[in-house]
């Protein structure tokens, strides 16, 4: 996995990442029968204060995270099997917002929405996902990590930004010695 060439504002030692809601929300879910088993994705929280790691976000991404949390908490079937760490989630959002948001241009957002609307299968045309693509482009992300099949269906790269799975992000973080294997 190679990052795009370094630009004015980014250094080769930085990692600029956009993280989709599915990955974020899974960080705060725990099985009721095994609450001690934290999601391995939760290790992303330890990266927030590192100067070399930049979790890119926009107000629309924060809103998507919040809508996802509300959907989980209102889903009786999920809540019978799992617990959602609302306090941890709120602390995460507060910590994330200590760094400035990415300013997404209307042009970049239109292009992202257009690309999603061209998906071959109608089920893959979730226009709400455009904010992740636009944030990745305008935030000069090195990676967009997602488990969302709609975003993954767009291919491996969008406008020069690799679209990777959680597993691929974890490999990159290990290679950079930011997490243990």
Average pLDDT on 149-168 reads 89
In angstroms, rounded to a whole number, what is the distance separating the alpha carbons of residues 1 and 3? 7
pLDDT over 70, % of the chain: 88
Average pLDDT on 151-164 reads 90
Helix or strand holding residue 149 (H, E): helix 149-152
Q: At 82, is the secondary structure helix, strand, or coil?
A: strand
pLDDT at 153: 79
pTM: 0.86
Query: What average pLDDT is seen over the chain?
Result: 86
Q: Predicted confidence band at 10 (pLDDT cuts at 50, 70, 90)? A: very low
In angstroms, rounded to a whole number, what is the distance separating the alpha carbons of residues 138 and 136? 6
Phi-psi region of 15 (alpha: psi -120 to 50; beta: other; left: phi over 0): beta
Q: Predicted confidence band at 114 (pLDDT cuts at 50, 70, 90)? A: confident
Residues 6 or more apart whose Cβ sits within 8 Å of residue 73: 79, 84, 86
In angstroms, rounded to a whole number, what is the distance separating the alpha carbons of residues 153 and 21? 16
In angstroms, rounded to a whole number, what is the distance separating the alpha carbons of residues 58 and 63? 9
C-beta pairs of 70-77 under 8 Å, 24+ apart in sequence: 72/25, 72/29
Q: Predicted confidence band at 126 (pLDDT cuts at 50, 70, 90)? A: low
């Amino acid at each position: 996995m190679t990052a795009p060439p370094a630009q004015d504002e980014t250094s080769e030692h930085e990692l600029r990442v956009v993280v989709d809601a599915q990955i974020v929300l899974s960080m705060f879910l725990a099985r009721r029968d095994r609450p001690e088993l934290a999601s391995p994705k939760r290790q992303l929280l330890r990266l927030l204060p590192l100067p070399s790691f930049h979790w890119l976000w926009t107000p629309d991404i924060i809103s998507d995270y919040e809508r996802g949390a509300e959907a989980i908490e209102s889903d009786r079937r999920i809540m019978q099997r799992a617990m959602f760490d609302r306090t941890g989630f709120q602390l995460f959002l507060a910590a994330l917002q200590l760094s400035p948001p990415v300013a997404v241009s209307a042009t970049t957002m239109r292009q992202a929405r257009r690309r999603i609307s061209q998906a071959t299968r109608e089920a893959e045309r979730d226009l709400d996902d455009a904010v992740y693509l636009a944030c990745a482009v305008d935030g000069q992300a090195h990676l967009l990590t997602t488990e969302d099949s709609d975003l993954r269906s767009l291919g491996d790269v969008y406008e020069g930004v690799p679209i990777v799975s959680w597993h691929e992000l974890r490999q990159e973080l290990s290679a950079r010695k930011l997490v243990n294997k």
